[in-house]
Amino acid sequence: MFSIFRFPLLALVAGLLLAGCASVDYSVVDPELYEGTIERLERELERNPDNMEARRDLGIVHLRTGQFRQARQELRTAYEAGAEDPETLFSLGLAHERSGERRDAMNMYQRYTDVPSSSRYRDPMQGRYQILVRDVAREQVRRALQAEADLADVAPTREVVAVVPLAYQGDEPRFEPLGFGLAEMISVDLAQVRQLRVVERARLNVLLDELELAATDFVDQEAAPRAGRLLGAGRIVGGAYNVFADVDLQLDTAFWELDRAEEPTFDSKQDALENLFVLQKELVFALLDEMNIRLTAAERERIGELPTDDLEAFLEFGRGLMLERVGQFQEAVQAFEQASTLDPQFSEAVAAGERARGVDAASGDAASFQRTVQGPDIVAEPSGATPVTRRLRQLGTGLGIGEIPDDPADERRPAPEVSDEAPRLPDPPPPPSND
């Protein structure tokens, strides 16, 4: 059983010190502040090399003092021995990232799904994973652009589908987010089909940026095939829509099968705006028929499920996707939260809010991410500190890491592997005998 030591007296003193500190840079903490802790943990590991709690704590100390490869080694050993509490998962991911091992970092951050939603580590892990996914996507697209001439003779992969945001043809800003929401729902539905693979939103967005393409460009005889080659996609779904007098919805879709046709196939549907969600499902089933894909009963049922029947919630969801697309993550979080407030059963909006909140929390390079996310456990002593304050800080440094408790107003609980109870201190020795 792994536990994090917390002592009430030290927590109180550290909490008072925290109140006077704006921030602490934990990527460049003076190692001397941790000398007592490091010596104690190393002595413990000499006595008991199988003490994975001490090894985990030593890894975290190395991480906070800039010894990233040592941190990775100690944390990896503890993790492989069974330490899977949120702090270990987060810290090992960060140690890999600071060591330049991005793929290993992504593998650890991806474990955010195993972390309770109440944990303070879940959002940063999810956000950092999404940021690294975007970095990888950007590199992939740029490599593809550099090797574009070599891709001209490569046959497109028919199973891979790219869905671009539908272009709004009207002038009422309220309905502009619909195109983003519709593209997302089409992607979600097509991803239910075992025979298809949908291009990740991150890679698609990077390509749109790099080529300065708009949604309407994907019906062009040059732009769409080129984008398909760069994305490795044999099929592209795009199109346009308009809303008339706040009532009628005109939906025009374009579908490219790049290995079979020189021009896209177009389909046009019109219905009352309130039937938007049914119209979107009809569009997906029509696309699958065009692809000659036979669905299983389970796939058909999953695709037929409506994500929401609340138009305002869907508009907020689409607005969140628009804001996320241009990097306004705080505003995107607010839009997604508004969508899930209007319809608490709108699971895609809930998940999108968690994603945007995590990216906002984890933004910046690895060093700034570590500075802003990693929780402090040692506070720099302010100038003019009294001898008592210095003694208490030295005592805290010697006892271990993690003395700062969670916010008492916070009801978060760690993963089951972590104990939430402070260890019992030994009873004081009996008074000296009068004999």
Looking at residues 375-403, what average pLDDT do you find?
Answer: 38
Task: Name the pLDDT band for 38 (thresholds 50, 70, 90).
Answer: confident
Residue 68 dihedral angles phi and psi, to the nearest 5°: -75, -40
Write the pLDDT tens digit of every residue in 41-59.
899 999 999 999 899 989 9
Cα end-to-end span (Å), the chain: 44
Note the pLDDT of residue 80.
94
pTM, 2 dp: 0.73
Whether 189 and 110 share a structural domain: no
Hey, how many other C-beta atoms are within 10 angstroms of the C-beta on 133?
18
Query: Going along 179-336, which residue ranges are E strands?
Result: 197-198, 235-244, 248-257, 265-272
Same domain, 159 and 146: no
Q: Is the pLDDT of residue 153 over 80?
A: no
Predicted confidence band at 425 (pLDDT cuts at 50, 70, 90)?
Answer: very low
Mean pLDDT of all residues in 135-160: 84
**8-22, 140-154, 158-172: which has the highest mean pLDDT?**
158-172
Residue 233 to residues 134, 155, 161, 196, 324: CA-CA distances in angstroms? 18, 10, 5, 10, 24
Domain around 66: 1-150+376-426
Residue 302 has pLDDT above 90, yes or no: yes
Residues 216-235 have pLDDT tens digits of 666 666 777 888 888 889 99
Query: Given this model, what pLDDT does residue 29 score?
Result: 61
Residue 164 and residue 79 share a domain:
no
pLDDT at 184: 95
Please indicate, yes or no, if residue 278 is contained in any of the structural domains: yes
| 255, part of any domain | yes
| Domain edge (last residue) among 306, 327, 356 | 306
Q: Is residue 381 part of a domain?
A: yes
Note whether residue 113 is domain-resident: yes
Q: Which residue has the tokens 């219905």?
A: 271
Give the closest residue to 163 by CA, choosing from 83, 117, 224, 100: 224
Cα separation, 88 vs 224, in Å, equals: 45
118 within 8 A of 222, measured Cβ to Cβ: no
